[in-house]
Amino acid sequence: MDKLKQQVISRFFAPKPKISSNPTPPSNPSSSSPPPPPPISPPNVKTTVSFSPSKRKLLSAHLASSAKRPKTKLSPHTHNPVPPQPNPSLHQKFLQKLLEPSSPPLLEPSESDHKKYTPLEQQVVDLKSKYPDVLLMVEVGYRFRFFGKDAEIAAKVLGIYAHMDRNFLTASVPTFRLNVHVRRLVSAGYKVGVVKQTETAAIKAHGSNRVGPFCRGLSALYTKATLEAAEDVGGKDEGCGAESNYLFCVVEKGLESSGSVSNCGCVDVRVGVVGVEISTGDVFYGEFDDGVMRSGLEAVVLSLAPAELLLGEPLSKQTEKLLLAYAGPASNVRLEHASRDCFKGGGALGEVMSVYEKVAEDNFADNVNQLEEAAEQGNSHCSIQGVMNMPDLALQALALTIRHLSQFGLERIVCLGASFRPLSSSMEMNLSANTLQQLEILKNNSDGSESGSLLKIMNHCLTIYGSRLLRHWVTHPLCDRNMISARLDAVSEISLSMGSYKGSQRIVEIDAEDSDVTIVQPELSCVLSSVLTYLGRSPDIQRGITRIFHRTATPAEFIAVIQTILSAGKQLQRLCIDEEYEDYGGRKVCIVTVQSALLKRLILTASSSNVLGKAAKLLSTLNKEAADKGDLTDLIIISKDQFPEVARARKAVQLAKEKLDNLIALYRRQLGKHNLEFICVSGTTHLIELPIDANVPSNWVKVNSTKKTVRYHPPEVLTALDQLRLANEELIIICRAAWGTFLREFEEYYVEFQAAVQALAALDCLHSLATLSRNKNYVRPNFVDDNEPVQIKIHSGRHPVLETILQDGFVPNDTTLHANREYCQIVTGPNMGGKSCYIRQVALIAMMAQQHQLLCLY
């Protein structure tokens, strides 16, 4: 056991002074007996040890059973009194003491507190007063430490040991486990801040702060919605996968005459919402009227499944009750309140516009114009004009969201790179909360999991970002006939190509007298399956592209993401998208590999020569070996006039090394040893090894020795080594700045790369629906013309979810409804006879038809 811990435990159970029960009579002043010594108070030692719930339950039960001791009993054999049980053991006392609640000191000293803080503790007190609602992890050497109340929380959540150290309770974790522990704290609903040292030892030794503590500052903030886009811990294998991480902001106003919302509540309100997925750049916004049940707001919340809620106060009781129920203890959804009193009188628009202007000035002034051009070309990226045309409540929610993201440094994604989409559109349906729940679209009604839901049955996507897009397709069926037909054509073509083992291309000859010519070409489904399988084994490139935009991506992550897009695009270029005419034996034929217009557009977008050329150019600037090692100094391959400051810093390091190596010639002449060389022992470089009886100058520093030799560092070597360390530190700082500049230059390509990734996600969704249709033998629905009566005709329809669960035990059903004839049906039957199943089946089949999916019909 560690000596310090042993001392703490021994002090824990130090014997208390015995106080006599008889009062001591007052002593006579003339008496020569000395006064009794004052009573010794027990030491105030506090500690926190975290147990798992099961272990805590067992310990409590053990202590409870040991506390309940029966009175004196007689022995059944001798009828003599059984001797009493001994006092509780030392182990039981220790457990009882540990299970007692402790009250560690907080990091908020009062004015009457005259404690002397160490320089580190003073830094922590200042940081905690600046960020009172943040759980701080302070970098101290090779560990991150928690102090005060933060240490108690960390001990409970992480299961680590916390103890008293000087003035505060403290706990610590190793630096290389930062990613794991931050994710666990964030998953528990805490807002975590990482405090790092802002200077290195070499720079500190040559600066004005040589004798003071290391300068520290808050380097990163993490919450559930911002974790995947953040630096150091985002983009890892432990990420949330296909789950959404939306930050959802809600504001509202009453529809009564006053228009104000108070805690008393309003029956009918107008709600403005903004949902931001920071890790992908998707933004949903909208404004709608809602009733007392808040069914519209509930539908939006269930559809987006946000990880963090931002409530713009004031809110009505009904709205707050709904959101608090969603963010219950079992959901691990973080909730934060924000006031919007400053937005009265049009203040929201002014704040949003000021942020747009600031970001444009700080980064690239012409980006706003680029976004305007993209918006005019039909791009979904929001322009300033689009922001000005947003509804008032949605604009207030956007302003609150930007203000919230500013403390994380992630507001740029909303201002420059986000894809804005309205919640309600004439092209898509908005399913109500009752529909999502009763039809089990996203989750089943048994245990609330995805197993047994429509989304789970339809999801055969091979990529994470494809699964996220499919969720949106399932919850927002299409309303436009042309869009439905386009997606059905794409699904049908992929499904048909899965059934053939020959080339999926169609050859149309110019001369009708010629016979068909079979040309071996890459099959559509084969190429798509190969590309999507490769993408499924690669990183999440959608979040990777956004992390590059946030400038939080590592060099290895950057190379992996760009290389994945480049490889996928090159494979898709194998498909013949455009019509090609070739001569085979004097016959001119037309080769068409892909006929669907939607498939052509998606494949051309994902395999654009412009995107692939820029990807190759970006990769040629970086050294992959240095990126894999995490070496920023050799990462950038300098060409022509690029990054001259990096070239100068590298040259300075090279000169410092040469100066250090050239010193050996001086010592050879000084010692008269022509074969003298510098050696390296246990990481200590540029040592001079001499026999133990050699005479050396008195100012040489002895480093280590053996029985026969002694190793020295001359003063000139120490000075040169110090200069080399300083040059290396400056090189690292300059290379880190150059890497930030490199990522900043990528922003002009962000829109094109994001479009390519979205095209790959759409191809994955179409391939998933085609796989489902092929496996289940689904057929394509037929839609009547607009001038014909509304009708539903289903022959041998099957419930898509129950059919999968029951396998071959499901009985198909027919349905015929016509607006001019049989427009209503009365369904009767015994309990558990399948009436509800039949009704849900008709609804699901109708929805799947508008979700551009082939139907489960025989």
CA-closest candidate to residue 688, choices 675, 676, 706, 697: 676
Q: Directed axis angle between helix 597-606 and helix 750-776, to 10°?
A: 140
Answer whether residue 376 is part of any domain. Answer: yes
pLDDT at res. 236: 58
pLDDT at res. 158: 93
Sheet with strand 580-584: strands edge to edge: 506-509, 587-592, 580-584
Are the C-beta atoms of residues 390 and 349 closer than 8 Å to each other? no
Tell me, yes or no, whether 552 and 600 share the same domain.
yes
CA-closest candidate to residue 154, choices 138, 140, 165, 166: 138
Indicate the DSSP class of residue 580.
Answer: E
Strands 684-691 and 709-713: antiparallel
pTM: 0.76
Token representation of residue 506: 């169609």
pLDDT at res. 10: 47
pLDDT at res. 853: 64
pLDDT at res. 513: 44
Cβ atoms within 10 Å of 444's Cβ, excluding its own = 16
Q: Which residue has the higher pLDDT, 107 or 8?
A: 107
Tens of pLDDT, residues 786-822 = 788 888 888 888 888 888 887 777 788 888 888 788 8
Tell me, yes or no, whether 250 and 191 share the same domain.
no
Are the C-beta atoms of residues 305 and 475 closer than 8 Å to each other? no
* pLDDT over 70 (residue 46): no
pLDDT at res. 339: 87
Are the C-beta atoms of residues 223 and 234 closer than 8 Å to each other? no
CA distance 822 to 387: 48
Tens of pLDDT, residues 95-148 = 565 555 555 555 554 444 557 888 888 889 999 999 988 999 999 888 999 999
Q: Which residue has the higher pLDDT, 201 or 467?
A: 467
**Phi and psi for 182 in degrees, rounded to 5?**
-65, -40
Q: Could you tell me where the DSSP H helices lie in 144-272? A: 149-158, 178-187, 201-205
Answer whether residue 78 is part of any domain. Answer: no
| Least confident segment among 18-22, 215-219, 506-510, 631-635 | 506-510
- DSSP-assigned beta bridge partners for residue 309: 248, 335
Token representation of residue 378: 């039909």
CA-closest candidate to residue 389, choices 349, 437, 445: 349
CA-closest candidate to residue 509, choices 418, 415, 391, 589: 589
Are the C-beta atoms of residues 325 and 264 closer than 8 Å to each other? no
Tens of pLDDT, residues 81-99 = 545 555 566 666 655 655 5
* DSSP per-residue codes, 503-542: ---EEEESSTTSPP-------HHHHHHHHHHHHHTS--HH
pLDDT at res. 149: 92
pLDDT at res. 366: 45
Tell me, yes or no, whether 197 and 274 share the same domain.
no
* pLDDT over 90 (residue 765): yes
CA distance 483 to 125: 59
**pLDDT classification of 849: cutoffs 50, 70, 90:** confident
Q: Which amino acid does the sequence have at 581?
A: Y
CA distance 651 to 656: 9
CA distance 425 to 464: 26
Token representation of residue 592: 């068409």
CA distances from 48 to 51, 100, 133 (A): 10, 9, 22
**pLDDT classification of 26: cutoffs 50, 70, 90:** very low
Tell me, yes or no, whether 250 and 172 share the same domain.
no
Segment of 63-77, 213-227, 546-560 carrying the highest mean pLDDT: 546-560
Answer whether residue 824 is part of any domain. Answer: no
* pLDDT over 80 (residue 239): no
Tell me, yes or no, whether 208 and 254 share the same domain.
no
How many structural domains is the chain composed of? 3
Tens of pLDDT, residues 432-441 = 888 888 888 8
Answer whether residue 781 is part of any domain. Answer: no
Strands 246-254 and 419-422: unpaired
Tens of pLDDT, residues 700-738 = 999 999 999 999 999 999 999 999 988 998 999 999 999
Q: Which residue has the higher pLDDT, 294 or 372?
A: 294
Token representation of residue 362: 């700080």
Token representation of residue 263: 């805690």
pLDDT at res. 329: 78
Element (H, E) at 591: strand 587-592
Measured at the alpha carbon of residue 602, what is the angle toward residues 501 and 856, in degrees to the nearest 5? 60
pLDDT at res. 601: 92
Looking at the chain, the whole-number percentage of residues with pLDDT higher than 90 is: 26
CA distance 439 to 241: 25
CA distance 361 to 58: 62
pLDDT at res. 198: 77
pLDDT at res. 85: 52
Cβ atoms within 10 Å of 180's Cβ, excluding its own = 15
* Residue the block writes with tokens 């992908």: 280
pLDDT at res. 75: 45
CA distance 268 to 289: 7
Answer whether residue 129 is part of any domain. Answer: yes
* pLDDT over 60 (residue 40): no
* pLDDT over 50 (residue 78): no
CATH assignment of the domain containing 139: 3.40.1170.10
Segment of 59-68, 588-597, 625-634, 813-822 carrying the highest mean pLDDT: 625-634
CA-closest candidate to residue 393, choices 364, 416, 423: 423
Tell me, yes or no, whether 218 and 268 share the same domain.
no
CA-closest candidate to residue 557, choices 183, 229, 241, 848: 229
Answer whether residue 54 is part of any domain. Answer: no
**Phi and psi for 332 in degrees, rounded to 5?**
60, 30
pLDDT at res. 193: 92
**Half-sphere exposure in the Cβ direction for 63 (13 Å, CA):** 16
Tell me, yes or no, whether 251 and 363 share the same domain.
yes
Tell me, yes or no, whether 383 and 483 share the same domain.
no
Looking at the chain, the whole-number percentage of residues with pLDDT higher than 70 is: 74
pLDDT at res. 807: 73
Tell me, yes or no, whether 550 and 687 share the same domain.
yes
CA distance 309 to 298: 13
Token representation of residue 19: 């106080």
Answer whether residue 63 is part of any domain. Answer: no
CA-closest candidate to residue 169, choices 6, 323, 259, 49: 49
pLDDT at res. 66: 54
* pLDDT over 60 (residue 240): no
Are the C-beta atoms of residues 369 and 385 closer than 8 Å to each other? no
Tens of pLDDT, residues 670-698 = 888 888 999 999 888 999 999 998 888 88
pLDDT at res. 274: 93
**pLDDT classification of 365: cutoffs 50, 70, 90:** very low
CA-closest candidate to residue 737, choices 851, 648, 854: 648
Mean pLDDT of 47-56: 54
Q: Write the burial class of residue 499 (CB in 10 Å: 0-12 exposed, 13-18 middle, 19+ buried).
A: exposed
CATH assignment of the domain containing 374: 3.30.420.110
pLDDT at res. 748: 85
pLDDT at res. 688: 92
CA-closest candidate to residue 122, choices 131, 109, 141, 134: 109
Token representation of residue 758: 């979205």
* pLDDT over 50 (residue 191): yes
CA distance 374 to 755: 12
CA distance 403 to 413: 13
CA distance 821 to 626: 74
pLDDT at res. 838: 86
pLDDT at res. 381: 45
Q: Which residue range is the domain that position 756 belongs to?
A: 459-776
* pLDDT over 50 (residue 22): no
Tens of pLDDT, residues 545-580 = 988 988 888 899 999 999 999 999 999 988 866 655
Answer whether residue 436 is part of any domain. Answer: no
* pLDDT over 80 (residue 361): no
Token representation of residue 822: 């049989």
Domain finish residue from 713, 744, 776:
776
* Residue the block writes with tokens 């985002």: 234
HEC-encoded secondary structure of 404-436: HHHCCCCCHHHHHHCEEEECCCCCECCCCHHHH
**Half-sphere exposure in the Cβ direction for 646 (13 Å, CA):** 21
Q: What is the mean pLDDT of the chain?
A: 79
CA-closest candidate to residue 791, choices 835, 813, 821, 826: 821
HEC-encoded secondary structure of 623-658: CHHHHHHCCCCCCECCCCCCCHHHHHHHHHHHHHHH
Q: How many helices (H) and strands (E) does the chain have?
A: 29, 22
Longest dimension (CA), the chain: 141
CATH assignment of the domain containing 681: 1.10.1420.10
| Least confident segment among 130-144, 482-496, 621-635, 821-835 | 821-835
**pLDDT classification of 610: cutoffs 50, 70, 90:** very high
Tell me, yes or no, whether 184 and 270 share the same domain.
no
Strands 791-797 and 709-713: unpaired
Tell me, yes or no, whether 720 and 598 share the same domain.
yes
**pLDDT classification of 503: cutoffs 50, 70, 90:** very low
Q: Is 179 helix (H, G, I), strand (E, B) or coil?
A: helix
Tell me, yes or no, whether 497 and 408 share the same domain.
no
